[in-house]
Each structure stands twice: as C-alpha cells, then as structure tokens.
Amino acid sequence: MEKYLIFIHPSELKRMKQNIWEHDYADGKLKIADKKFSIKIALRGNQIRKHKKKSYHILFEKPYLMDGQHEVHLNAEYNDPSLMRNKLSFDFFESIGVLAPHSVHILLYINGICQGIYLKLESFDEYYLRKRNLPAGTIYYATNNDANFSLYTPEKNLKSSLENGYTKKYDYQHDDSLKKLLFVINTFPKEKFCVEISKLLHVPKYLMWLAGVVCTQNFDGFIHNYALYHNSETELFEITPWDYDGTWGRDLHGSPLEHDYIPIEGYNTLTARLMDCTDYRLMYKNSLHQILETQFTDQFQESIIGTLQHTIRPFINKDPNLKNKLAAFDQEQEFILGFIRARNKYLASKLDSLIKK
C-alpha cells in the first residue's frame, strides 16, 4: 500500500481541526515515494468532519498535475468497517459500463503521524475526461438533496431555480443544457417525454446507473451522490456515482440496512418518468436481469472482495482508529456476501413487476 506523506504548518493544521466547517485551504507538501508536490489541502465531507479521522481534499499546485489529475479526495471511510464499500461500488459501476472515478487505498501520514488507511479518489472533472480520451463537456455536481430532477424539493417546496441542488464543476463553452433537461423532465406530457428524453439523456447508460444504485442500495444515490456529464459530441447527459460508503448492506452511519430497503424502481423524478415509458421499463428490466446474473452475485464479487481485504488487512493495526478492530474487519467479507445473496434474490423476485400490464 502506497504511503502519502503530507506536511502542513502545525498552526494551519490546528486551525483546520478547530474550525471543522471552514472550507479554507492550507498550504502543504506531499511526498509519494520519491515524488514531491506543493499542494493546497482542506477538509472535505459533511458528517465525517465531526469525527477524529477526517477526510481531505487536495489540489496540486506545483507540479499542477499528478498522474493527469489536478485534485484528489482522500476519504477516511470512517463509518465503513470494511473500508472497501466505496471502491467496491465504483469498480462495480465501471464493470457494468457506467463512468466512475478510479480509487485506490493508501496509508496517510500528516506531519509524521499515521492517520490511517484512506481511499484516494479521482475527481470527476475535465481531467477525468482527458485521461480517458472522452469528449469535453460540462460537468455538474449534485451537491445536496435538491438534485432530484424535480421542480420541488424532497420536502415538497417549490424550488427558486430549476438548477437548485446542482453546482457546475466545469463549464464547457458556456453550456446551459441542464435547464433544458430539467424543463423536459418536468413539463413534457408522457408521450412527448418518452420520445424527447432520448435526445437529451443517454437513456441506456442512465438505466444501467439506476440498476447499479438499486443493487448496491445507496439511499442517497438518487438525489445526491452523483455527477452529470454533458458529452459535447453526443450532446447527451451521462451520470456517474459519488460517495458510496453507505452501500452493500450498511447505511452512511455504518448501521446494517435491510436488503429490501430500496425498491426495485428506485427514486427521483427522472427515474419515475422513465419508468412510465414501457420501452424504458423493459430496457431497465433486461439490464438489471443481466447484472443479477453476472456482476451482482456472490460468486463474482467474492474474489474481488477477498483481494481488497487481503490488500487492506496488513495495515489495519497501523490505523489509530482501527486498533483492536481486526475481527470486525474480517467479518465484513461474509456480511457483504450475505447482503449480495439476499439483495439479488429480492430483486430477482421483483423483475416481473417492472412489466406493466
């Protein structure tokens, strides 16, 4: 496991820890093997800021890029006893053909003190697209629960703007396409919507993403925890997952979540409208059925989980937050596999309900 050695002035580090809700960046240095970087570093996340083990956002200053990335996220994975749910999710999405950030576990040191095992996440931005030779395009982050593709908030209040809940991460040629997408979703009658939405959204990829969220059972994934990419060549929106530690049988606090908590059709206004179109319901059923037969099985995932566990396990005792928790870590493999078996069986039993009479 690679070591990330970060050095921050002690007064700046003290400020960050005392003012956990600030978004100010501190200057720092990062050493990875024989490579050195000047960086900006700040806390990231929401609930994790309250915990002893923090998550961090890093911007590279000099050199400006590290392996083709200008920024990375170091996730503490504090509430996930397996430390692998995020990575397991992103790798799963990628295996079913959905854009997802690359991730790898690292051992983090700050000012010589081991902070523990972290998951380094690639940022979903213009550099992500360049690394994969994808067309340039505007990227939007779903930054809060108002990103539900609706005119109304989850609390049923009328939004002040169609784009409430979204933050434009990267603007390509002053793109304003999100407003048009949201307008079509919320105003077009059924017959017109079922035709026009395919001119704005890559529907097969969206339905594959939906299948991924439904399988992994990320409760927040339908109205948060995602990004939208407007492909400048196809002029279609694609979607990518983000923050998937509350998955594979546990919620975002690390508590067990019943395998049938999320219905097979998922949530949000866009999903509901797509499920109202017979052709798209059938497309979704077929995609989900294929995944339940292939990638989302305990047989397929067992070796993947085992490899991740084998990579992480030797470093558990180096993490000051995981002392004496090796037994709990070891139990997570069977916990996750048990969830996959139960969730797969539940979803398979509901497939026929997707065909409207």
* Shared-domain flag, residues 180 and 288: yes
The answer to whether the CB of 39 falls within 8 A of the CB of 33 is: no
The size of the chain, in residues, is 357
* Shared-domain flag, residues 111 and 168: no
Euclidean distance between CA atoms 132 and 291, whole angstroms: 24
Q: Does 22 have pLDDT greater than 50?
A: yes
Q: What percent of the chain has pLDDT over 70?
A: 99
pTM metric for this prediction = 0.95
Q: Is the dihedral of CA 321, 322, 324, 325 positive or negative?
A: positive
Q: Does 357 have pLDDT greater than 50?
A: no
Q: Does 37 have pLDDT greater than 50?
A: yes
Helix (H, G, I), strand (E, B) or coil at 95: helix
pLDDT digits (tens, 9 = 90+) for 110-160: 999 999 999 999 999 999 999 999 999 999 999 999 999 999 999 999 999
Q: Is residue 107 part of a domain?
A: yes
| Chain centre distance of CA 148 | 16
Position 320, amino acid: P
- Specify the residue for token string 């109304």: 152
Contacts of 56 (CB under 8 A, 6+ apart): 41, 42, 43, 44, 73, 74
| The domain boundary residue, chosen from 122, 146, 175 | 122
* Shared-domain flag, residues 186 and 282: yes
Euclidean distance between CA atoms 294 and 288, whole angstroms: 10
Q: Is residue 333 part of a domain?
A: no
Q: What total of structural domains would you count in the chain?
A: 2
333, HSE (Cβ side, Cα atoms, 13 Å): 16
At 48, the pLDDT band (50, 70, 90 cuts) reads low
Q: What is the pLDDT of residue 51?
A: 77
* Shared-domain flag, residues 37 and 182: no
pLDDT digits (tens, 9 = 90+) for 268-288: 999 999 999 999 999 999 999
* Shared-domain flag, residues 58 and 166: no
Q: Is residue 314 part of a domain?
A: no
Q: Is residue 262 part of a domain?
A: yes
pLDDT digits (tens, 9 = 90+) for 216-242: 999 899 998 999 999 999 999 999 999
* Shared-domain flag, residues 43 and 161: no
Give the strand pairing for 26-32 and 35-44. antiparallel
CA distances from 265 to 59, 341, 354 (A): 38, 19, 8
* Shared-domain flag, residues 202 and 116: no
Contacts of 34 (CB under 8 A, 6+ apart): none
pLDDT digits (tens, 9 = 90+) for 81-93: 999 999 999 999 9
* Shared-domain flag, residues 159 and 199: yes
Domain span including residue 154: 135-296+340-354
Instruction: Give the Cα-Cα-Cα angle 106, 35, 32 (nearest 5 degrees).
Output: 15
* Shared-domain flag, residues 87 and 204: no
The answer to whether the CB of 29 falls within 8 A of the CB of 64 is: no
CB atoms inside a 10 Å sphere around CB 187: 10
Euclidean distance between CA atoms 149 and 130, whole angstroms: 27
| The domain boundary residue, chosen from 64, 91, 122 | 122
Q: What is the pLDDT of residue 17?
A: 84
Q: What is the pLDDT of residue 52?
A: 85
Q: Does 6 have pLDDT greater than 60?
A: yes
